[in-house]
Amino acid sequence: AQKPPTDDLEAYSLFLRAQAVGQRNTTDAQLAAISLLEQAVARDPNFARAYADMASRLLVTARPLDEVERAARRAVELDASLGAQSLLANVESARRNWLVAAERFAEAAPDGFVTSGPTVAGLLLPTGQLQAALRIQQKLQTDEPANASISTVLARIYNSLGLDAEAISSADLAVSLGA
pLDDT band at 119 (very low <50, low <70, confident <90, very high): low
d(CA 24, CA 120): 31
Determine the number of helices (DSSP H) and then strands (DSSP E) in the chain.
10, 0
pLDDT at 58 over 90: yes
Residues 77, 19, 63, 109: is their CA dihedral positive or negative? positive
pLDDT at position 2, please? 65
pLDDT at position 111, please? 46
Helical axes 164-176 vs 148-160, angle rounded to 10°: 160
pLDDT at position 33, please? 96
Mean pLDDT of 129-156: 83
pLDDT band at 130 (very low <50, low <70, confident <90, very high): confident
Would residue 112 be called left, alpha or beta, if left means φ above 0 and alpha means ψ between -120 and 50 degrees? left
> Which tens digit of pLDDT belongs to each residue from 18-46?
999 998 889 999 999 999 999 999 999 99
In contact, 58 and 34? CB cutoff 8 Å: yes
> Which tens digit of pLDDT belongs to each residue from 75-104?
999 988 887 888 888 888 888 887 777 777
